[in-house]
Chain A
Amino acid sequence: MSKVIMSGNEAVARGAWEGGVTVAAAYPGTPSTEILENVALYKNDIYCEWAPNEAVAAEVGLGAAVGGARSMVTFKHVGMNVATDPIFVAGYTGVNGGLVFVDADDPGCHSSQNEQDNRWYAPHAKLAMLEPSDSQECKDFMRDAFKLSEKYDIAVLLRMTTRVCHSKSLVELGDRDGAEVKPYVSNKEKYSLLPANALKRHPIVEGNLRRLAEDAETLPFNKVEDNGSDIGVITSGISYQYVKEVFGDSANILKLGLTYPFPEKLISDFASKQKTLYVVEENDPFLETEVKALGFKCTGKDKIPGCGELNAAVVKEALTGVKDPSVYEVAGDVPSRPPMLCAGCPHRGFFDVISRSHKRLVLAGDIGCYGLGTYDYSFCMGAGFSSTVGMAKALELQGDKRKVLGMVGDSTFFHSGVNGLFDIFSTQVNVIACILDNSITAMTGHQDNPGTTKNLMGEDKPAISIEAVVRAIGFTDENIRVVDPLDLKAMQAALNDGINYTGPFVIITKRPCALIREVRKANAGKFYIVDTEKCTGCKVCVGVTCPALSFENGAAKIDPSQCTGCGLCAQKCHFGAIIKGGEF
């Protein structure tokens, strides 16, 4: 079969299909999101869903695997933290149908709050771990992971990194195999982890891992390249590509594809033959710790950075001292270009209003497009609500009169924000909880969520009303406001009500993301223009920082190709100088 070019994420989806997966669940998170989007291409063969959060996704996957279906669950590295409760359970129950957790780490923090190295989860949760280094391996390892899972009765962690997920390389495709669902037979001793059962499961699980460790010595995931060199390198994942780039065939290489359980004999045999031994890996010294525990001296994190993403140049400089210099330097500064809220973004109106009251507020951010707005701190999914309870207490204890305002998006509300809102209501804490509902999981590229009317397979589904959930908690007309955030007067009135209220207060800002196809269609042809005779050049409008709006030759200027006609800047103008130009 001829080769096709695929990203690592596309290849994992293909490998899952070839490997006979029938159930797939995930919560979106860069760099993992496209895996399930590509699994959905096989929706006739695979049931797939966006779960409300990663823990739910992992439990859907575990339920399916115990039920007999080959299943997969994907998440980004910090998403795996959310899912670890069921993942650690899967480590003890083992499987019936094969179960594969696909984790995407983000060295270099391209789109994450940390660089955590999730390889440690494999020994911690008693999972087998595979680390592909290119798209072909993504596909092959994913396909084989299901067989591995079933043969050793163990859940498998396929660990990727941003550069593996989002790089494209050539892949030879195969056929689908093993999609038959195994019969579900009740087995409480295996699948109900009551203390007595769990205690009995523990040695069985350790035995399964040992069995795999013995076979790992010869399994084809691990490869030795003996080039008769004095230098030996142990490596895995994308780091292998950097090692090959630097050394070519001038070093011996032990490339580990199965990085847990460790093939101890293979590592020892290789290490004992090398005059100089390097361990090259991104982030933490995961392999290096094992090599050292086996009694071998090696060079690893003492030379190779543990912080930031590696590339061939970094590895080369660390191990050979040779630096690839830049050749050209151009005089003059190029202004930075950070990501920003899109033209027509409904969040812009929300941030314009709350930032004007910022002195009276402590703003708790969360994870989503609104991370591009104004806030004082931002932790993790859902903390935009739950942390406000603790922050409000701490401020009260020090006599700080500022009110805490927390924000979560619609998808984050369903993910974990709702639990924080339970606490806000139960404790009757004096905070403002804002749900920025743009009717989509926007930041990761428009995935559906419990509040939308479609599922991942493109079918209609009922939407859960956020307002109805909030009212069910106990909020009433007294302490709920639902507003269009691009209506600045209404938004300001809602905020004032919230600031003046004592006790928990909810503001739901409701306006769909400007990039949703239907919204784009509805906004096509709409744009505003500047009446340059009326414009005084006061720059109040450009203060909203919209990509469609700039300031040139002493007056505001609107790019009609970018403007969506949201009218926010027109509301800001004191002189009536911004007027409708397109077809409204």
Chain B
Amino acid sequence: MATTGILLCGVGGQGTVTFSNILTKGLMDLGYDVKMSEIHGMAQRGGAVTTQVRYGEKVYSPSLGFGQADIIISFEKCEAVRNIAYLREGGIVITDTCELNGLPILQGTAEYPHGILDELEKTVPNVMVVEANKVAADLGNVVVANIVLLGAMVKAMHLEAADWTGIIESSVPPKTIDLNKAAFNAGYAM
């Protein structure tokens, strides 16, 4: 039974929840069965977070195993590498260039691996680097970086048929609709 797996990863507070809410509505709009799994709790205190989305004609398990993600969307570049085991052969990675320091780095017991994306690109053929934070900041607010990534993902996964504009309109605060639409379009154009 063919299902498609999407893994979102980032750091608590980066907007993965809004991303996955819009994403699942779009997948429902396309007529798919959808399941999504995210673990709350301790993770919201600056810890690593992942959300797993699966869609297809019929989905059973809400979670993904190693080698089962068709695409990884990473909001922070270390997190893409941390979760790379989930990517299937030939799968796509879309990652922001954002760098956030975790506890060991703040404590001085580890250093941020600034060159980690080079290593990722050496190993994984389909890596798309998106400067979502920068694009969002240029549009007026970094908080829509997640929607920039959503636009890039919709293009990469050929999911254009859903009414993304309508779903964004009904999912974000009214004042930010134009900003979010612009962010989606900017991501899609990449």
Task: Tell me the nearest residue of chain B to A9, going by C-beta.
Answer: B40
The proximity string for A residues 333-354 relative to B, scoring 1 for CB distances below 8 Å and 0 otherwise, is: 1111111111000000000000
Q: Known contacts A245-B60, A313-B65, A335-B113; is A326 also within 8 Å of B85 by CB?
A: yes
Binary CB contact string for chain B from 128 to 166 against chain A (1 if under 8 A, 0 otherwise): 000000000000001000000000000000000000000
In the assembled complex, B57 has its CB within 8 A of some CB on chain A: no
Quick one: which of A242, A312, A328, A549 has the most chain B CB within 10 A?
A328
Contact A31 B40 (CB under 8 A): yes
Query: Quick check: is B105 within 8 A (CB to CB) of the other chain?
Result: yes
Q: Does B108 contact A (CB under 8 A)?
A: yes
Say whether A198 faces chain B, with CB atoms less than 8 Å apart: no
Q: Are B60 and A329 in contact (CB under 8 A)?
A: no
Residues of A within 8 A of B108 (CB): 539, 542, 551
Tell me the A131-173 residues at the B interface (CB within 8 Å). Answer: 134, 162-163, 166-170
Contact present for A330 and B81 (CB under 8 Å): yes
| Cα distance, A30 to B41, chains bound together (Å) | 6
Q: Select which of B61, B105, B116 is within 8 A of A312 by beta carbon.
A: B61
Query: A542 to chain B: which residues have CB within 8 Å?
Result: 106-108
A-B pairs under 8 A by CB, number? 178
Contact across chains for B40 and A30 when beta carbons are under 8 A apart: yes
Known contacts: A169-B34, A311-B61, A342-B46. The answer to whether A334 contacts B105 by CB under 8 A is: no
**With the chains together, A328 CA to B88 CA distance in Å?**
8
A517 within 8 A of partner (CB): no
When distances are taken between beta carbons in the complex, the residues of chain B under 8 Å from A335 are: 78, 102, 104-105, 110-113
Contact indicator per residue, chain B 108-134, by CB within 8 Å of chain A (1) or not (0): 101111011001101110000000000
Q: In the bound complex, do residue B106 and residue A337 qualify as a contact, i.e. CB atoms below 8 Å apart?
A: no
Whether a CB of chain B sits under 8 angstroms from the CB of A244 is yes
Question: Is the CB–CB distance between A337 and B103 below 8 Å?
Answer: yes
A329 and B84 contacting across the interface, CB-CB below 8 Å: yes
Cα A288 to Cα B83 with chains together (Å): 34
A248 to B56, CA, bound (A): 14
Does A327 reach chain B (CB closer than 8 Å)?
Answer: yes
Task: State which of A3, A244, A372 has its C-beta within 8 Å of the C-beta of B60.
Answer: A244
Contact B113 A333 (CB under 8 A): yes
Residue of A nearest to B65 (CB): A313
Query: Is A547 touching B41 in the complex (CB atoms < 8 A)?
Result: no
How many interface residues does A have (CB within 8 Å)?
A: 56
Contact partner of A325 among B28, B67, B112, CB < 8 A?
B67
Question: Please, which residues of chain A bring their CB within 8 A of the CB of B120?
Answer: 330
A241 at the binding interface (Cβ < 8 Å): yes
Pick the contact of A324 from B67, B101, B115, B116 — CB < 8 Å? B67
B47 touches A338 (CB 8 A): yes
| B169 part of interface (Cβ distance < 8 Å) | no
Which single residue of chain A is at the shortest CB-CB distance from B105? A335
CA–CA, A443 and B47, complex, Å: 13
Q: A170-B28, A248-B1 are in contact. Are A31 and B68 (CB under 8 A)?
A: no
CB contacts (< 8 Å) of B11 on chain A: these are 337
Query: In the complex, which residues of chain A have a beta carbon less than 8 angstroms from the beta carbon of B1?
Result: 248
Q: Is the CB of A330 within 8 A of B61?
A: no
Pairwise interchain contact B48-A337, C-beta atoms closer than 8 A: yes
Tell me the B1-56 residues at the A interface (CB within 8 Å). Answer: 1, 11-12, 24-25, 28, 33-48
Is the interface on chain B under 10, 10 to 19, 20 to 34, or 35 or more residues? 35 or more
A284 to B79, CA, bound (A): 33
Mask, B68-111, CB within 8 Å of A = 1, is 10000000001101101111110100000000011111111011
Chain A, residues 510-554, CB within 8 Å of chain B (1/0): the string is 000000000000000000000000000001001001110111000
A245 and B123 in contact, given A166-B39, A324-B66, A550-B101 (Cβ under 8 angstroms): no
- Whether B81 contacts A334 by the Cβ 8 Å rule is yes
| A241/B46 in contact, CB under 8 A | no
User: Shortest distance in angstroms between A79's beta carbon and chain B's nearest beta carbon?
Assistant: 14
Query: CB-CB < 8 A to A110: which residues of B?
Result: 39, 41-42
B63 sits at the interface (CB 8 A): yes
A329 surroundings in chain B (CB, below 8 A): 84-85, 123
How many Å from the CB of B84 to the closest CB on chain A? 5
CA separation between A497 and B34, bound complex, in Å?
59
With A241-B60, A331-B119, A545-B103 as given contacts, are A166 and B66 in contact (CB-CB < 8 Å)?
no
Q: Which residues on the A side are within 8 Å of B87 (C-beta)?
A: 326-328
In angstroms, Cα B115 to Cα A340, docked, is: 25
**What residue of chain A has the Cβ atom nearest to residue B76's Cβ?**
A337
Contacts of A312 in B (CB 8 A): 60-61, 63, 65
Query: Are B61 and A168 in touch, CB under 8 angstroms?
Result: no
Whether, in the assembled complex, A474 has its beta carbon less than 8 Å from a beta carbon of chain B, the answer is: no
Cα–Cα distance between A169 and B34 once the two chains are bound (Å): 6
Contact assessment for A167 and B24 in the assembled complex, using a CB-CB cutoff below 8 Å: no
Interface pair B101/A547, CB less than 8 Å apart: yes
Contact pattern, A 362-380, Cβ under 8 Å of B = 1, otherwise 0: 0000000100100000000
Check if A168 sits within 8 Å of B24, measured CB to CB: yes
Is A332 part of the binding interface, using a Cβ–Cβ cutoff of 8 Å? yes
Query: Is A493 located at the chain interface by the 8 A CB criterion?
Result: no
Known: A111-B42, A332-B116. A311 touches B63 (CB 8 A): yes
CA distance A288 to B131 in the complex (A): 52
- Given contact pairs A330-B120, A445-B44, A545 touches B61 in the complex (Cβ within 8 A): no
Other A-B pairs, 19, CB within 8 Å; known A327-B89, A332-B113, A337-B46: A3-B28, A110-B39, A110-B41, A162-B39, A166-B39, A166-B40, A167-B63, A241-B60, A241-B61, A312-B60, A324-B67, A328-B84, A329-B84, A329-B85, A330-B123, A335-B111, A339-B45, A340-B45, A550-B106
| 21 A-B pairs in the complex with CB atoms less than 8 angstroms apart | A30-B40, A31-B41, A111-B40, A167-B38, A168-B36, A168-B37, A313-B66, A326-B66, A326-B86, A327-B91, A328-B85, A330-B119, A332-B115, A334-B116, A337-B78, A339-B42, A340-B47, A340-B102, A542-B108, A545-B103, A547-B106
Name B residues whose Cβ lies closer than 8 Å to a Cβ of A.
1, 11-12, 24-25, 28, 33-48, 59-63, 65-68, 78-79, 81-82, 84-89, 91, 101-108, 110-113, 115-116, 119-120, 122-124, 142
Q: Which 8 A-B pairs have the closest CB atoms?
A: A111-B41, A313-B65, A326-B85, A337-B102, A339-B47, A167-B62, A339-B45, A335-B110
